[in-house]
Structure 1
Amino acid sequence: MKTLRSDIKKRRVRKARKERRRLVVILAAIFLMIFLIGKLTSAPEEEVVAKESINQEDATVVAEESIIQSAIQPAKQKRPDGKPTGKVVYLTFDDGPTTLTDEFLDLLKEQDIQATFFMQGINLQKIDLQENVKRATEEGHYVGAHSMTHNSKKLYDNGQFVSEMSETLSLIQDITGTNPKLVRPPYGSAPGLKSQQIRNEIIKAGIKIWDWTIDSKDWAVKDNPNQIVENIKKQTTTDIEVILMHEQLQTLQALPKIIAFYKKNGYEFGVYNDADHFYLNFQNDTRL
């Protein structure tokens, strides 16, 4: 009887062991399946991440190569006098900012042309005009100074030229964040800057001067924009031209024809750059 009970007990133990082994095998199979499914699911994500990493590395390499290429590109060639080679015309506008500044900027933007503006301090102080001064620099135009008062007696007779120009340049810097050095003397540097002493003061202040090669005389023909165009055409005689114009309605009306004339004659449109300054003053002072 005891032997029978012992056999039964042993069989039960063996059966329990088999059940445990079977359970372990089943659990192991389940864990293996979960692991394999997880690997299959995450593989595409890992592949995408890997590809993105490669693409980012490629983009970095391309950007670095581009920087190197631009660094070794030769600068645009210049003539012995510092002027650019080829045919280049500089459109310049005095006496801004005005209520017409935005319309000048719109037209220039349509034509994809940058210009050089010489602005008066008295106008720069008008809050409602400052937004277009900012816009001008943001769109690639150069904004230089044209004095605070445009008063020849104060500027030249009373010796306020440098102080007024410095104040105007500071205003431009405050409004635009740029640091311009170029100014245009009201009525030109002749005879205003005839004095060697004034020119020495200008040089000491780090100021540069630009007069012009073409006087459009736009101020004298209020209702005749076509005459402005003709004035400019007649005076166009060299490969490098700097045109004096003003922010006036008749000039705005003449501008499309002026641009068309120079395009037809193979000119590029230049904008002043402090780094590429060339002297252009009626005193022929190469230091200015």
Structure 2
Amino acid sequence: MRVWALPLALLALVGCVTQSVPRRHQVRAPVVPSRPAVIDPVVLAKWLVSMQSGWPRSRKFDCARLKCVALTFDDGPGEFTGKLLDVLSKRDVRATFFVIGQMVAADKGGHTVRRIVNDGHEIGNHSWSHPALAGLSHEELKHQLKHTENIVQKLTGVRMRVMRPPYGSTDDEVAAETRREGLAQILWNVDTLDWRDRVPKTVAKRAGDAKPGSIVLLHDIHRTTVDAVPSMLDTLGKKGYTFVTVSELYGKTPAPGRTYTER
């Protein structure tokens, strides 16, 4: 059954049950004009999106026993993100995308960021304009996080629970602000250096050196990185790795304010 048909089916079922109850007495009750049910179209639209996307997808992995690895992609969404999502979808692989607010705003209609969510990937905050967060004023730091949070939630209905500080730049103030915003700081322990070395074979090889529990740093704004992903998945897959999101790697949503680099 299509999701949009579910409310209609429920109403029809209620009608059938009501008609099937025998009338014990033919007592005429005063006629009271009934008011039609009023459904907020915004609430209905968000409900339908959540039903269709199934967010968050419920997948349970025991990464204390399995060989798990979390692939993470920064700085998007960009012009190559759609191709990457196609590759991941065909392989039934989930990843974590740390998005930049300005890039989300530039994505017409938010199509790509909504697809990230609908495809079951985890989405995280990577600031509004990618500055080094350590050393920013409290007001600017809050703006960088909150502005991105607001636009992603408006477009997808998802409240992000993880973030990645650009350049890995963090300090006590960043930790305090992310704790207030309910965001865990996710760093990495495998850096593919794909922003510097635009060679798919090199990027895939570095990612292939991941160990159980690794968080791998990649960038979906580079075509060469996206081209490296199939080989990367083949290499890690042959080694028996299970591909998970960051939250799945830990078996729960990471704690706000805390910094994570690997399991």
TM above 0.5, yes or no, is: yes
Bigger Rg over Cα: 1
Shift of 1:273: 3.5
What is the match of residue 188 of structure 2?
212
Shift of 1:134: 0.6
* AA matched with 2:214: E
Shift of 1:157: 2.2
Shift of 1:204: 2.1
Gaps of 5+ in 1: 1-74
What is the match of residue 63 of structure 1?
none
**Over the residues paired in the alignment, what is the CA RMSD in angstroms?**
2.6
| Cα gap change, 1:284 to 1:218, in 2 (>3 Å) | closer
* AA matched with 2:160: P
Native 8 Å contact 1:121 1:171 kept in 2: yes
What is the match of residue 83 of structure 2?
103
Work out whether 1:193 is the aligned partner of 2:170.
yes
SS at match of 1:239: coil
Gaps of 5+ in 2: 1-58
SS at match of 2:218: strand
Matched residues in 2 for 1:137 and 1:172: separation? 10
Residue-by-residue CA offset, 1:85-127 (whole Å, 9 max, x unaligned): 3111111100111111110111111111111101101111124
* Higher helix proportion (structure 1 or 2): 1
What is the match of residue 214 of structure 2?
241
* AA matched with 2:135: D
User: Equivalent of 1:258, from 219, 222, 232?
Assistant: 232
What is the match of residue 110 of structure 2?
130
What is the match of residue 121 of structure 2?
141
What is the match of residue 38 of structure 1?
none
State percent identity of aligned pairs: 27
TM-score by length of 1: 0.63
TM-score by length of 2: 0.68
Which is bigger in relative contact order (C-alpha 8 A, separation at least 6)?
2
| Cα gap change, 1:77 to 1:273, in 2 (>3 Å) | closer
Native 8 Å contact 2:177 2:257 kept in 1: no
Matched residues in 2 for 1:174 and 1:98: separation? 19
Matched residues in 2 for 1:129 and 1:105: separation? 17
| Cα gap change, 1:142 to 1:226, in 2 (>3 Å) | same
User: Equivalent of 2:134, from 142, 156, 174?
Assistant: 156
